[in-house]
Copies of this chain bind each other. A is one copy, B any other.
Amino acid sequence: MQLHLSTWEEVDSYLSTSKGIIIPIGSTEQHGPNGLIGTDAICPEVIAREVGERTGALVGPTISIGNAQHHLGFSGSVTLRPTTLIAVIKDYVASLARNGFERFYFLNGHGGNIATVGAAFAEIYADYSMAMPGSNRPQVRCVLKNWWDTPGVQALSKELYGDKDGSHATASEVSVTQAAYPDAIKRKEMKQAGRAPRPFADADDYRKLYPDGRIGSDPTLATPEHGKRLIEASASDVIEDYRRFLALD
């Protein structure tokens, strides 16, 4: 069930059965010579929809712009400042909590979001924690799950790409986008990308370390078929994980 394709009366009905929602969160940033700029938003979005279709879980609109300051050396990349992203997540959660949602499951497509989303959760919780005891607002609970960070996806990545999946513009994520948007598959010759001996800092630094944008990946190995299997694998693991999250006391 997708929020943007539902009516408010349908959401009212849904709330009588579940207080949970899945929110895809991605990024809009370069993904190397054959990776789509929308990759990190597309991946959690298609997996969340798969989860929604199989289970009836409600899926909110994707937060498609995340923290991508380090990719701004490449055209078309877009970032929110971390403090802006914190405000977006806070307003999103508060809006839904107002009408009864209590469990927020963020399905993440971008490693660069992890820290800031964690900070956003703490910012949200702090409002509750700093209130005087005895306030009777229902508590919200938030969790972040990376779509690729599940047993099924890890096993499949290893099987399909061995040590060539990399960590940015990965073969896995490019495969997922190829399954999702077969008309937007790009062909580019390239070798497996290297890894710099150190972490990157800002955008100029990132581009110096990773001239074509990739980190350690060979995304020429990506295929739409891989993508389907990866979506399947991730969705299955996420379904279980989300159910556990809802079942927590």
Interface, chain A (partner B; CB < 8 A): 2-12, 15, 28, 30-38, 41-42, 60-62, 64-65, 67-70, 72-84, 86-88, 90-92, 94-96, 98-100, 112, 114-123, 125-126, 128-133, 137, 139-143, 181, 184, 186, 188, 197-199, 201-205, 213, 248-249
Contacts and interface: CB of A to CB of B under 8 A. Distances in A.
B33 A7 contact: yes
Contacts of A202: 125-126, 128-129, 139
Interface of A is mostly: mixed
B81 A123 contact: yes
Name which of A98, A117, A249 has the most chain B CB atoms within 10 A of its CB: A98
A71 to B, nearest CB: 8
12 contacts: A4-B64, A7-B36, A28-B60, A28-B61, A69-B126, A70-B122, A78-B96, A81-B91, A81-B130, A91-B130, A128-B202, A129-B204
A40 to B, nearest CB: 10
Given A61-B65, A140-B201, A81 B33 contact: no
